[in-house]
Amino acid sequence: MAKKLKVGVAGANGYAGMTAVHLLARHPGVELTQLTSRSYAGKPYAEVFPLLELEGAFSSEPSLDGLDVVFSCLPHNVGAAKVESWLAAGVRVIDMSADFRLHDAEQYPKWYRRQHPAPSLLGKAVLGLPELHEADLKDAQVIAVPGCYSTAAILALAPAVSAGLVGSDIVVDAKSGVSGAGRSPGMGVHFSEVNESVGAYAVEGHRHLPEIVQELSALGGPEQGSLGLTFVPHLAPMTRGILATCYFDLKGSAGELEEAYREFYSGQPFTRIVDKTPTTKLAAHSNLCLVNVGAQGKKAVVTAALDNLIKGASGQGVECFNIACGFDRTTALLGAVQWP
């Protein structure tokens, strides 16, 4: 058997970190050597992962000695300051935060309320969306996994934009499960606040909006002009899942639109065109993004469903890891992750 890569997960006790650990623990090419958590430092791994046979205790910071890859599941603006030292030590970085998703450092103060801590590294980062950037991921040293809403919206719209079939501004109406807000407790995710209730938020502009515009604008080409897109997220009373319904005026026929999608995603292992509008439960606990292409008269209606913690976060991170490190793209991603 080939030598296993030594992998660490920084911030392993949050939802993204926990999901990454569950996936990497069953990866045949991975030796999980370090899990870090400031709140669990010194405590055994079993306190967070009772069903995984992991020996050892959490440390507060990763030791880079002998490490091949770090999955950084730290909060926004926390991991970015550490990436330069990780790269200098020869460690490849899979970043699950928003720190390296946007190409333009001037966007960060607007959306994240502070200057970017490592703007010189933005040019080295590759957005971790394999359906669009597989070739670039093979040599990437910094991989910035996109947001859950971003992944759903981009995959729902990329074929139409690429084929020039969008004839108007785009509206994206998206719903997320509560785990998308992270594991830290707060009034906005309190059971009594979200149960039996659905509501919109960030109507003035969500931080995933610039990711969506950035990626779709790159596909559209200059002949299509600037991309107009309105994105409104909603919090739904479910643990996990993203459902994005996208509307735009259709150039051409509904048949041409569907053909563009089937051609664009031909051979893709995790993005599937389905005949009926997908539900979040169909994609839950998997690395799948399910896309339905429809129309209401001349208005295209494209719906995408995925699991926000897997294809919308750590599953996609492992998918990118597989591409970058020479494994089969589906390795460790074909079985369900049950918790949360």
- State CA 271 to chain mean position distance: 13
Q: According to the model, what pLDDT value does residue 79 have?
A: 85
Q: Which of 73, 148, 320, 325 is catalytic?
A: 148
pLDDT digits (tens, 9 = 90+) for 16-35: 999 999 999 999 999 999 99
> 279 vs 91, 171, 243, 273, 336, CA distance in Å?
38, 19, 7, 13, 17
Asked which of 52-61, 175-184, 329-338 is least confident by mean pLDDT, the reply is 175-184
User: How many CB atoms neighbour CB 306 within 10 A?
Assistant: 35
- Angle CA(183)–CA(187)–CA(192) in degrees, nearest 5? 100
Q: What is the mean pLDDT of the chain?
A: 93
- Topology of domain 149-308, CATH: Dihydrodipicolinate Reductase; domain 2 (3.30.360)
Whether 148 is catalytic: yes
Between residues 84 and 321, which one has the greater pLDDT? Answer: 321
What are the tens digits of pLDDT across the range 290-309? Answer: 999 999 999 999 999 999 99
Q: Do 5-146+311-325 and 149-308 fold alike per CATH?
A: no
Architecture of domain 5-146+311-325: 3-Layer(aba) Sandwich (3.40)
pLDDT for 339 equals 74
- The C-alpha atoms of residue 244 and residue 236 are separated, in whole angstroms, by 12
Pairing of strands 229-235, 289-296: unpaired
Q: How confident is the model at residue 323 (pLDDT cuts 50, 70, 90)?
A: very high
Tell which phi-psi region holds residue 324, choosing left (phi > 0), alpha (psi between -120 and 50) or beta.
alpha
DSSP state letters, 198-248: -EE--TT--TTHHHHHHHHHHHH-GGG-SPPEEEEEEE-SSSS-EEEEEEE
- 334 falls in which pLDDT band (50, 70, 90)? very high
Q: What is the mean pLDDT of residues 93-100?
A: 96
**pLDDT tens-digit profile of 201-249?**
999 999 999 999 999 999 985 455 578 999 999 999 999 999 999 999 9
The phi and psi torsions of 118 (rounded to 5 degrees) equal -145, 65
Q: Is the pLDDT of residue 182 over 80?
A: no
Taking the domains of the chain in order of start, what are their residue ranges? 5-146+311-325, 149-308
Parallel/antiparallel/unpaired status of strands 229-235 and 199-200: antiparallel
Within 13 Å of residue 138, how many CA atoms lie on the same side as its CB?
A: 5
For 111-145, what is each residue's pLDDT tens digit?
A: 998 899 899 999 999 999 999 999 999 999 999 99
Please tell me the predicted confidence (pLDDT) of residue 225.
55
For β-strands 92-95 and 142-144, DSSP reports them as parallel
Residue 1 has pLDDT above 60, yes or no: no
Torsion, CA 315, CA 7, CA 134, CA 176, rounded to 10: 20
